[in-house]
Amino acid sequence: MTPNFTLTQITGFILEEQTGLTLDDICRACAAQAELIVELVNEGVLSPRGKQPDEWHFTGAHLQRARVALRLQNDLGVNLAGAALALELLDEMETLRARLQLVEAAARLP
């Protein structure tokens, strides 16, 4: 008996810091209405380049932050201000972890 394999092609792309995403792009990627993304900007969760929503440019990091904030809101019932605080605390933890790794690496040096 021969195994029955099906090949599936997976396509995608990597969003880096330099990626310029529009408000429309972010909305599609997050499956969110523009008003909700505007609220994330107003809460300080996202800080796109540009003055008006039709001029905004987001990065891949913004997309990741938006997805986390929306997950906190949808899955845990956290309001946008709470999501902003949670993301700020997660950023602080990441900074502290990086510092700790530097200290540990320096301590291993002869």
Q: Which domains does the chain have, with CATH numbers?
A: 23-108 (1.10.1660.10)
Task: For residue range 3-54, list pLDDT tens digits in order.
Answer: 566 666 665 555 555 568 999 999 999 999 999 999 999 999 999 999 999 9
61-100 tens-digit pLDDT: 999 999 999 999 999 999 999 999 999 999 999 999 999 9
Q: What is the pTM of this model?
A: 0.74
The total number of residues shown for the chain amounts to: 110
The pLDDT, as a whole number, for residue 11 is: 57
Instruction: Dump the DSSP string for 61-97.
Output: HHHHHHHHHHHHHHHH---HHHHHHHHHHHHHHHHHH
Q: Helix (H, G, I), strand (E, B), or coil: what is residue 25?
A: helix
Task: Identify any residues that bridge with 57 across adjacent strands, giving them in sequence order.
Answer: 49
3-state DSSP call for residue 60? helix
DSSP state of 46: -
Checking if the pLDDT of 60 tops 70, the result is yes
Higher pLDDT, 67 or 1: 67
